[in-house]
Structures are given as structure tokens and as C-alpha cells.
Amino acid sequence: MAVRSLAYIRVETRDLAAWRSFAEGVVGAAATPDSNDERLLLRLDGRPWRFCIEKGEQDRYLCAGLECPDEAQWQATVDRLAKAGVALERADAATIAQRHVRGMVSLADPAGNRIELIWGNVVAGTPFVSPAGVPAFITGEMGFGHVVVPTNCYEETRRFYKELLGFGDSDEMRVFFPGGPEQGLGMSFMHATGPRHHSVAVGEFPAPSGLIHTMVEVPSVDDVGLALDRALAAGVHISSTLGRHTNDKMISFYMRTPSGFDIEFGCGGEQTADWTTVTPTFTIKEDLWGHKWDFGT
């Protein structure tokens, strides 16, 4: 194993003010003092930031920061990627300082999804206080949540995360859409070394924004309900109603971000202390209940 968790994501937006209003007023993330007219840094916990929203010409997802637990495992992973012929770009000192890490290389998976492989992430030194009153986000060594990235080369992308980045299978499913292929579209959910059910998933369908969704987790269903109330009051598009997933047991809803991808806001996600005791599952029904979708435009 190599990657411990999802450390952060970077996003591009044409409307930084809309992102700040959404992040602080609906999600409950806190903008850092280092935020400015070109970049919005958002905290969810004791880390310096978990979301970096950068002003640009497009609304899109840029990359995920995947964290290794120490330098030795990071270097071993870098060596394994290099041996496999993956193009790597070592970060310069300024980039490393901005990311608040001690080492970083940039790369892409076979589908072109960008990754920043890091180690040595630091703590902020000041307590996290949510401007929306969220008591906490479930993070720690599990990272801030998960990402679901698109792929047009499903099996190759799965192998990349498993064989080169050290992820393990948690669950796989086929997703069926009206007018879609008869055999459905594949989704593979993969865990890092931490206990979260999945930190990365890959989906066999397109995502114009570059990301299918990301997820944040809170302590209770009341925290989820209050976030849903905030989203509705703010006029945010609700991509999916409240529901509970079959595979990770999370109770959640999905809402649209200003950059066009969804955030799953949930609680009660399954955790596993020892992955050697777990047999990966194949899910034939996505949800125990709920999650009625409205993809909008």
C-alpha cells in the first residue's frame, strides 16, 4: 500500500465570489486569511486547506492531492511510477510551500485526471471554526473525503490506481441510465490505507467539469439535514435527494458546485480498521433508499 488519503482538491472557477458564498454559507468550510482575489483556500479541519479554488477562464476540476504517510512510501511510489513509464513533474520550492507539504510530484492517470502525489502535509496551528456552524468534518488520517473521477479506459484506470498507487478494491457496481448501454457503466470504489470505505472511485462515463463528484462527511444526520436546508435556501441545485448508499452506508444528498461538479454531503460512512479482513463487494443496487437524481443542465 502507498497512498493514505485524499488530502485536497484544486478547482478552477470563473466566479470566485460565488464559490466563497457557496463554500462558507452552504458547505460550512472556512476561507483562510491567505485567500485573495485570485485564490480561495478553504479549511475543513486542522489542515491549512482542503479545497483550493483558483480564478480562471473555466469552471472545472483541476486535480486531487493524494497523500502518502511518509517520505519512504512516497519515494517508493514515485519510483514505481517512474519505472512504469508514467510522466512525473517534481514540484518546485514555491509550489511545495503553497501546498504546505514537504514533497510533491504531479502526474496523470490513464484517463488524464491530474494527481499531485504528496507527503508531509502540515497542520494549520489554529482551530477550525465553521462559519455555518458545522460542528466538525470527519477527516483525520482518512483525509477529507473522496473523489469520483471519469474515465474512458475503465480497466486500465483501475489497474493504475491499484498497481501503481497502492489502492485496494472496496466495491464495484454497474450503473444503468436511460438510453445507456445494456450492460451498464462500470464504477469502481477503491480504498487507501486509511479506514474510509473509498478515497477514490472511477466511473465509466463523461464529466464535462472533469469530476463526477467529491464528498465531505459530517458527524450526524442532523448536520446533513441542516446543510440541505442551507442549500435549498441559497437556491443551490440539488442533484440528488437524501438517500443511503448500499456499499458504504452513507446517508447523503448531492448538490451542484459553482464549477459544475457535485459535492456529496453525508454522514455515517463505513470504516474498516483492517482491510485484510474484508472481501470486496459487487453492488447490484446502488441505494438502500432515496437518492433520486436530477442532473439538471
Residue 18 lies inside a defined structural domain of this protein: yes
> Do 104 and 146 reside in the same domain of the chain?
no
pTM of the model: 0.97
Q: What does the pLDDT read at residue 178?
A: 79
Are 93 and 145 contained in the same domain? no
Residues of the domain holding 195: 140-290
Using DSSP's 3-state secondary structure scheme, residue 44 falls into coil
φ and ψ at residue 145, rounded to 5 degrees: 165, -135
Residue listed under C-alpha cell 512510501: 73
Task: Assess whether 147 and 270 both reside in one domain.
Answer: yes
Return averaged pLDDT per consecutive 10 residues of the chain, 297 residues in all: 93 99 99 97 98 99 98 98 98 97 98 98 92 98 97 98 98 88 94 98 96 99 99 99 98 99 99 95 95 89
DSSP, collapsed to helix, strand or coil, labels residue 147 as strand
In the chain, the number of structural domains is 2
Predicted pLDDT at 1? 59
248 and 215 fall within a common domain:
yes
Residue 295 belongs to some domain of the structure: no
| Same-domain pairing of 43 and 171 | no
Give the contacts of 258 (CB within 8 A, at least 6 positions apart).
13, 15, 18, 19, 22, 59
Q: What does the alpha-carbon distance between residue 227 and residue 243 come to, in Å, rounded to a whole number?
A: 14
**158 shares a domain with 39:** no
CB 134 within 8 A of CB 227: yes
* Same domain? 168 vs 259: yes
Question: Do 76 and 154 share a domain, yes or no?
Answer: no
What per-residue confidence (pLDDT) applies to 213?
A: 99
Q: Is the dihedral of CA 251, 256, 259, 261 positive or negative?
A: positive
Pick the last residue of a domain from 69, 87, 119. 119
- 225 burial (CB, 10 Å; 0-12 / 13-18 / 19+) is middle
Residue 160 lies in a domain: yes
The residue out of 119, 153, 176 marking a domain boundary is: 119
**Could you tell me the three cell numbers for 265?**
454531503
Sign of torsion over alpha carbons 24, 20, 243, 46: negative
Number of Cβ atoms within 10 Å of the Cβ of 207: 19
pLDDT of residue 264: 99
CATH number, domain containing residue 265: 3.10.180.10
Q: How far is CA 35 from CA 30, 43, 187, in A?
A: 10, 11, 35
Identify whether residues 87 and 171 lie together within a single domain: no
- Locate 147 and state its grid cell: 473523489
Whether 135 is covered by a domain: the verdict is: no
Please count the CA atoms within 13 angstroms of the CA of 151 that sit on its side-chain side. 26
Asked, for residue 124, whether it belongs to a domain, the answer is no
- The answer to the question of residue 296 being in a domain is no
Q: Same domain, yes or no, for 92 and 231?
A: no
Query: HSE-up of 165 (CA within 13 Å, CB side)?
Result: 32
**Domain boundary, last residue among 86, 119, 152:** 119
Q: Is residue 127 part of a domain?
A: no
Spatial CA neighbour of 68 closest among 162, 188, 194: 194
**Same domain as 148, residue 103:** no
d(CA 185, CA 176): 6
Q: Are residues 65 and 108 in the same domain?
A: yes
145, part of any domain: yes
